[in-house]
Amino acid sequence: MPGVQYQVKIITDFAAAHNLRNFRGKCENLHGHNWKVEVVLRGDRLDESGVLMDFGELKEATREILTALDHQYLNDLAYFKERNPSSEYIAQYLFERLSERLNRDYCRIFQVSAWESANSCATYFGENLG
């Protein structure tokens, strides 16, 4: 998308517990967060309705994907068996699944941020930084 002109963002949340394996710090202990998630979609044109993507569609897809994480012990989920359920990997997990569902020829998921507190987040950009 050479001429990116539009961007939309939604913010939602979920609650989950996790611990970071081989971390050597307090986050190695079982604990939980009320995560905030930001999803940013970018594109170079609008659809026939004059929108990049219906906010409802973006929110629904995000909520459906978050259902697998909400009120779960993240370490038990298949995706996190071989990788720590860090904010970075949670953002990547969401980015990959949202991209599979929502990317179009004129718009793509640009970034996903996973906030574990009001002051700390990790953002995944996928191939968008290349």
Q: How many angstroms separate the CA atoms of 50 and 130, rounded?
A: 29
| Alpha-carbon distances, residue 26 vs 17, 62, 92, 101 (angstroms) | 14, 30, 23, 36
Q: Is 107 annotated as catalytic?
A: no
Q: Find the catalytic residue in 33, 38, 107, 116.
A: 116
Q: Find the catalytic residue in 18, 27, 31, 38.
A: 27
Q: Is 127 annotated as catalytic?
A: no
Q: Find the catalytic residue in 57, 60, 71, 100.
A: 71
* Residue type at 97 in one-letter notation: R
Q: Is 33 annotated as catalytic?
A: no
- Which active-site residues does the annotation give? 27, 71, 116
